[in-house]
């Protein structure tokens, strides 16, 4: 662990917290938007804990995830589309609270929060299983195919986790319209996976054989 890495992680954490808070509370026009407080809590408290664990146990993994810079042209477009999707979903959620367009009942919000936290745990398990995991599409030096645990069920368990994370966000925020916007994540990750598998097949020894053994990409028996 280095002092530079620590402050870099804290700076990005605080920037994300402030930015998402502004995107939610400014359109809502009120700090009484309780769904936003709930969302910020279940998003950033586990994120902070995971960051501390990575900093102590695997600082290289934390460094890779903090310093990610996508080189693949196709993936830059995917990231741009994802950014627009999140921006729209958060702003619409705040406006939904302000104008009370379609209000979800509290029980639905809490179920959404439960799904979100379960997906977060799955994401943490993926990080534990695959130390080569990066935010960018690349083949790293000495990288090997991981085919145990969740990787023995689907080829991209990280996307399985993020799919449930992102789709539950709209429910936690109490906005069915935001949920509909976040459904755009499905074609977005389909594009990302297509390019990622092409890169892995070309550069990672044993990946083609792995694909033949593990048939499903994201959801068993479905996709």
Residue 148, pLDDT score: 87
C-alpha 58/C-alpha 133 separation (Å) is 12
Residue 130, pLDDT score: 80
Residue 141, pLDDT score: 60
- Does residue 223 sit in helix, strand or coil? coil
> What per-residue string of b and e applies to 153-167 under the rule 16 or more CB within 10 Å gives b?
ebbbbbbbbbbbbbb
Q: Name the phi and psi angles at 138, rounded to 5.
A: -165, 160
C-alpha 185/C-alpha 54 separation (Å) is 27
> What per-residue string of b and e applies to 58-68 under the rule 16 or more CB within 10 Å gives b?
eeebbbbbbee
Rounded to two decimals, the pTM is 0.88
* Domain 3-213 listed as CATH 1.20.1050.140: no
C-alpha 30/C-alpha 17 separation (Å) is 17
C-alpha 1/C-alpha 47 separation (Å) is 18
Pair of tokens at residue 52: 């501390």
Domain ranges of the chain: 3-213
pLDDT averaged over 10-residue windows placed end to end, the chain, 223 residues: 77 94 98 98 91 77 65 72 95 98 96 96 87 61 81 94 96 98 95 88 87 93 91
Asked whether the CA dihedral 111, 117, 121, 123 is positive or negative, the reply is positive
Residue 185, pLDDT score: 94
Residue 142, pLDDT score: 65
Residue 51, pLDDT score: 79
182 within 8 A of 87, measured Cβ to Cβ: no
Helix (H) or strand (E) holding 56: helix 34-57
Pair of tokens at residue 80: 């741009």
């Amino acid at each position: 662990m280095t002092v530079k890495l620590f402050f870099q992680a804290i700076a990005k954490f605080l920037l994300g917290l402030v930015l998402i808070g502004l995107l939610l509370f400014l359109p809502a026009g009120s700090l009484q938007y309780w769904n936003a407080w709930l969302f910020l809590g279940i998003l950033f408290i586990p994120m902070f804990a995971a960051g501390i664990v990575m900093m102590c146990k695997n600082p290289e993994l934390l460094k890779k995830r903090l310093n990610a810079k996508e080189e693949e042209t196709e993936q830059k477009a995917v990231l741009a589309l994802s950014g627009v999707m999140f921006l729209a979903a958060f702003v619409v959620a705040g406006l939904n609270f302000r104008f009370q367009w379609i209000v979800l009942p509290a029980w639905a919000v809490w179920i959404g929060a439960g799904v979100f936290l379960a997906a977060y745990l799955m994401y943490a398990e993926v990080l534990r299983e695959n130390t080569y995991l990066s935010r960018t599409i690349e083949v790293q030096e000495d990288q090997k195919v991981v085919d145990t645990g969740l990787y023995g069920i689907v080829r991209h368990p990280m996307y399985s986790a993020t799919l449930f994370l992102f789709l539950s966000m709209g429910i936690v925020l109490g906005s069915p319209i935001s949920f509909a916007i976040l459904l755009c994540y499905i074609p977005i990750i389909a594009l990302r996976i297509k390019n990622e598998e092409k890169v892995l097949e070309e550069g990672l020894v044993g990946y083609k054989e792995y694909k033949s053994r593990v048939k499903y990409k994201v959801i068993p028996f479905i996709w």
